[in-house]
């Protein structure tokens, strides 16, 4: 199976059934990350705000860093593709 097909199966399959539409889950993560960044003084209250697309982009960077450490680990490429697709899915209207 191709990397793109695996990523598609993951983001439209069990993950969505478990966590709901990805935009909602990514927004929840963004809210928590923003609260953490304010609490530790990395950003000021009302300052820079991470949104759901930023979460997906930052997760891609995590996977790129892991890929740099082990280019043979295929899962990182699958996850990078998946997070890239989730950026686009953030603009969808959830069908819940």
Are 70 and 80 a contacting pair, CB within 8 Å? no
pLDDT given at position 20: 86
Report the alpha-carbon distance of residue 41 to residue 35 in Å, rounded: 10
Residues 6+ apart with CB under 8 A from 70: 76
Mean pLDDT across 48-74: 96
**What is the per-residue pLDDT across 71-85, written as a single tens digit (0 to 9) for each?**
999 999 999 999 999
For residue 93, the model assigns a pLDDT of 76
Encode pLDDT of 22-31 as tens digits: 999 999 999 9
DSSP structure class, residue 94: P
Cβ neighbour number for residue 52 with a 10 Å cutoff: 21
3-state SS, 30-89, equals HHHHHHHHHHCCCCCCCCCCCCHHHHHHHHHHHHHHHHHHCCCCHHHHHHHHHHHHHHHH
């Amino acid at each position: 199976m191709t990397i793109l097909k695996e990523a598609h199966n993951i983001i439209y399959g069990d993950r969505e059934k478990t966590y709901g539409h990805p935009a909602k889950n990514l927004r929840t993560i963004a809210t928590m990350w923003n609260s953490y960044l304010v609490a530790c003084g990395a950003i000021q209250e009302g300052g820079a705000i991470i949104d759901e697309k930023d979460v997906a982009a930052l997760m891609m960077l995590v996977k790129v860093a892991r890929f740099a450490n082990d280019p043979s680990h295929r899962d990182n490429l699958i996850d990078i593709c998946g997070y890239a697709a989730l950026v686009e899915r953030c603009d969808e209207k959830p069908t819940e």
